[in-house]
Every structure is written in C-alpha cells, then in structure tokens.
C-alpha cells in the first residue's frame, strides 16, 4: 500500500484538496465551492458524480465528505503520512513551514487581523483535519514565509515608525510558495543551484505579484501589507495613490467601501467593465472592445514597470520567469510586456513564445536577448506536499 500526503487549501467560500503519492505524483484532487450557501457543492476531478453535501455545508463538512469520497473510491486506502495546509499569513512569526501544534494555531490566530478573510478559514481547515486525523502530523505552509528574507529597506513603508513597531504595518508579500518554486525550477532549467540563481519571478493569475530573487532568496516583492498592492489583477487595482481614500471620502465613499471596490470591482474587471478573466478579455479586445484593449495595456505596462523596478534589487539576472494562469498561457501578455523592456535588452522569440516554451525547456527568449526568459508552470500544491512530508518524517 502506498503512502500518501494530503494538501488542503481553504479559501473564503471554497476549498481544494489534493492527494499525492510518496513520489509526489498527484493521485486525485477535489474541489468544494459555494460553501455556507444553499447550493454548496463538491466534486472529485474527473469524476462525473458530485460528492453530496448538505445545504449550507461549511469547510469542516465539505472536508469530511471529500475525505470520505477519496476512501470510498479507494483513492486513499489508509491514513496519509502527512497533511499540508496552505496558510495565507504567517506575519513575522513564520520564516518557513511549521508543524502544527497549539502554539502554531495561536500564532496563526494572532495573524488573523492581517488576513481576516483568509487565516480564519485556513484555521477552520486545520481544525477539521485534526478532528478527522488526530494522530497525523499536520503542517502549515505560509504564503508570506518565503518573503521573510526581504531586507528592511524593501519591506518598510515610509510611515511613522510606530505603525510598524505597534501594528506590524510593513510589506509582507504573498504567493511565496509559487515564487519559491520558480527559484527552484529555474535553477534546474539553468543548470545551477537555487542558492546561486537570481531571477525575477512574475506570478500572473487572478492574483498577480512579482518578486526579485537574489541567490535563491526573496529580496523584493510587489504585494504588501495585503495582497492588494502592486500589479493590476483580475479584480484588484494594485497600486493607487493613497490620497484616493480621502478624495473618495469627500464624495461619500467610506474607506471600507473603497477597500471593497479596490479588491472586488477594480483591476481588469474595473477597466474593461466586462470581465476579470484574461482569456475572455483578449477575445473581447480582438472583437474591437476598446476598454478591454485598454485593460490589457494597463496590465502589461504596470507589469513591465515592476520588472524594471525589481532590477534595483539584483546585481545579476539569470532569467525573467513567467508563471500562473496568465503567465503560463498568454503569449500575447508576455509579448506586450516584453515590448516595454527593450532598454533592458529583453527580446522574445515569437515562435517559442507562441508555444509557451513547451518545446524548449521553458525558454522563450530570442537568441540575442540579454537575459533568458522562461515559462514555468507553477505547482504550489507540490511544494506544500513536499514540506508536509519533510516535516512529518523529520
Ligand atoms: P490562475 O488564477 O493562476 O488560475 O489564473 C487565472 C487567469 O489565467 C484567468 O485570468 C484566465 O483567463 C487566465 N488564463 C488561463 N489561460 C489563458 C490563456 N490561454 N490566455 C489568456 N489568459 C489565460
């Protein structure tokens, strides 16, 4: 019988569960959505029949139903050797993944004010799995941990000192698991070691962030105190003038309402007025929808500006790396971004870019580009599975 590892990723109203074998091949994955709603549902990937959930099922009930479904289908014939949890915010407490005990739970709770939509549901997932598997090692893998190597000049905001000392107002950065994986995978493709690899990693999905990685360590990143800062995203604005909040307050829009709009109704959705989905946006632009074309231009220009900004943290660049749903799949976004980078000497090969580097070990740069450009599919679940197994067998 094979050893397995479970990976749990709880979002505010959804969750993902993945099952890996001892060689880190994914055996099964499952999804539950619309949790705490009357039409909550769950299913295992590539299985037609849904997993039955009661109306208003919560994270705990959905996890119990999915674990049961894995067992019934003989996907998991005995308890896993480890369970890894994605946890969004580890504050300054967690510089790496951590086995979960009472002290870990208390520390995750104490970071909840920094991620009120995420940490409480991450904890709900942890507690649900502890009830289902009381003797199995559970491990928390934090989105923020990889960025704990940022130097102070990169993580501090130019605000009154006590904002940081008293309330922890600083740049934390997110998508750390993905950026860490990019550093690791890029080093393999470049025939180097992670500790000698310096890259700029652009994670472009529904959420987007970019990180400067020097000799394997995160030294600057675009997301900040919250995942709202930085690049243009699906529904998030990224950077705006902080003066906007007072300007809007004078027009009757509270800070809370402005925050909601900046998170949920801005970014590609706000600019296009149509969609937060980059693929649909490209289709609309192709059919002459000008706001969609503008949204693409703003997205690419902001990204190119940040690529330039990230070079300030590096003394050498081994590769520019694209990942995430957009970064891996959109030749157009990579091409439009690279057009702004000619001063850096970054040139793409149009054929390799169109093929997403699939026939060239991820490389999409032209032969005369000053720097390699790579497309690398991200795999945050794999990193979490490896970390969980490593800490469980330590
Ligand atoms: P993620 O959050 O990493 O799953 O990425 C989701 C984003 O990737 C959405 O905006 C998708 O539209 C986008 N995406 C996926 N495939 C493509 C594609 N072929 N072209 C453009 N965007 C894509």
Ligand 1, atom 9, residue with closest C-alpha: 277
Q: Is the CB of 127 under 6 A from ligand 1?
A: no
The catalytic residues are 143
The CATH code belonging to domain 191-375 is: 3.30.420.40
Give residue for tokens 């891996």: 328
The whole-number average pLDDT for the span 328-351 is 98
Q: Is the CB of 325 under 6 A from ligand 1?
A: yes
Residue 89 to residue 112: CA distance in whole angstroms: 8
Task: Give the strand pairing for 217-221 and 319-323.
Answer: unpaired
391 annotated as ligand-binding: no
Residue extents of the structural domains in the chain: 4-142, 191-375
* 209 alpha carbon – ligand 1 mean position (Å): 14
229 annotated as ligand-binding: no
* 76 alpha carbon – ligand 1 mean position (Å): 31
pLDDT value of position 49 = 87
152 annotated as ligand-binding: no
Residue 341 to residue 259: CA distance in whole angstroms: 32
- How do residues 118-133 score in pLDDT, each as one tens digit? 999 999 999 999 999 9
pLDDT value of position 152 = 98
> What percent of the chain is predicted at pLDDT more than 90?
95
Confidence of residue 393 (pLDDT cuts 50, 70, 90): confident
Least confident of 99-108, 113-122, 186-195: 113-122
Q: Is the CB of 110 under 6 A from ligand 1?
A: no
Q: Which atom of ligand 1 is nearest to the CA of 282?
A: 21
Q: Is the CB of 206 under 6 A from ligand 1?
A: yes
Sign of CA dihedral 276, 277, 278, 281: negative
Q: Is the CB of 282 under 6 A from ligand 1?
A: yes
Give residue for tokens 């025939």: 191
pLDDT at 155 over 80: yes
* 205 alpha carbon – ligand 1 mean position (Å): 6
* 294 alpha carbon – ligand 1 mean position (Å): 18
- How do residues 248-286 score in pLDDT, each as one tens digit? 999 999 999 999 999 999 999 999 999 999 999 999 999
Confidence of residue 2 (pLDDT cuts 50, 70, 90): confident
- How do residues 283-320 score in pLDDT, each as one tens digit? 999 999 999 999 999 999 999 999 999 999 999 999 99
Helix (H) or strand (E) holding 244: helix 244-249
Q: What is the mean pLDDT of the chain?
A: 96
Residue 150 to residue 285: CA distance in whole angstroms: 38
Q: Are 297 and 305 in contact (CB under 8 A)?
A: no
278 annotated as ligand-binding: yes
pLDDT at 117 over 90: no
Do 4-142 and 191-375 agree at the fold level? yes
pTM (predicted TM-score):
0.96
pLDDT value of position 19 = 97
pLDDT at 1 over 80: no
Q: Is the CB of 205 under 6 A from ligand 1?
A: yes
> What percent of the chain is predicted at pLDDT more than 70?
100
**Architecture (CATH level 2) of domain 4-142:** 2-Layer Sandwich (3.30)
Could you give the angle at which helices 176-189 and 380-392 cross, rounded to 10 degrees?
90
Distant-in-sequence, close-in-space partners of 46: CB < 8 Å, separation ≥ 6: none
């Amino acid at each position: 019988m094979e050893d397995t590892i479970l990976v749990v990723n709880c979002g505010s109203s959804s969750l993902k569960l993945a099952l890996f074998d001892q060689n880190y091949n994914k055996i099964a994955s499952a999804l539950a959505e619309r949790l705490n709603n009357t039409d909550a549902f769950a299913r295992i990937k590539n299985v037609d029949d849904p997993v039955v959930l009661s109306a208003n099922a919560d994270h705990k009930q959905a996890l119990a139903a999915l674990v049961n479904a894995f067992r019934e289908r003989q996907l998991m014939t005995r308890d896993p050797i480890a369970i890894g949890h994605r946890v969004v915010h580890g504050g300054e407490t967690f510089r790496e993944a951590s086995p979960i005990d009472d002290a870990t739970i208390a520390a995750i709770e104490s970071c909840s004010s920094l991620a009120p939509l995420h940490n409480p549901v991450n904890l709900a997932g942890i507690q649900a799995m502890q009830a289902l598997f009381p003797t199995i090692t559970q491990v928390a893998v934090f989105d923020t941990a990889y960025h704990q190597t940022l130097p102070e000049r990169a993580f501090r905001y130019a605000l009154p000192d006590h904002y940081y000392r008293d309330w922890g107002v600083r740049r934390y950065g997110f998508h750390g698991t993905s950026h860490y994986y990019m550093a690791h995978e890029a080093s393999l493709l470049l025939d180097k070691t992670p500790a000698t690899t310096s890259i700029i990693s652009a994670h472009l999905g529904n959420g987007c962030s970019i990180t400067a990685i020097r000799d394997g360590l995160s030294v600057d990143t675009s997301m900040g105190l919250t995942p709202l800062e930085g690049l243009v995203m699906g529904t998030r604005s990224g950077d705006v003038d902080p003066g906007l909040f007072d300007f809007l307050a004078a027009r009757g829009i509270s800070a809370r309402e402005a925050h909601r709009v900046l998170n949920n109704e801005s970014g590609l959705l706000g600019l296009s007025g149509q969609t937060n989905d980059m693929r649909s946006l490209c289709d609309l632009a192709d059919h002459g929808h000008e706001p969609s074309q503008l949204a693409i231009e703003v997205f690419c220009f902001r990204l190119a500006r940040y690529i330039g900004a990230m070079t300030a943290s590096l003394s050498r660049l081994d590769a520019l790396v694209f990942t995430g749903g957009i970064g891996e799949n959109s030749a157009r976004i990579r091409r439009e971004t690279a057009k702004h980078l000619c001063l850096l000497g970054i040139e793409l090969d149009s054929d390799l870019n169109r093929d997403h580097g699939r026939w060239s070990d991820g490389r999409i740069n032209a032969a005369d580009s000053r720097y390699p450009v790579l497309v690398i599919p991200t795999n945050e679940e794999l990193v979490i599975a490896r970390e969980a197994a490593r800490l469980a067998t330590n």
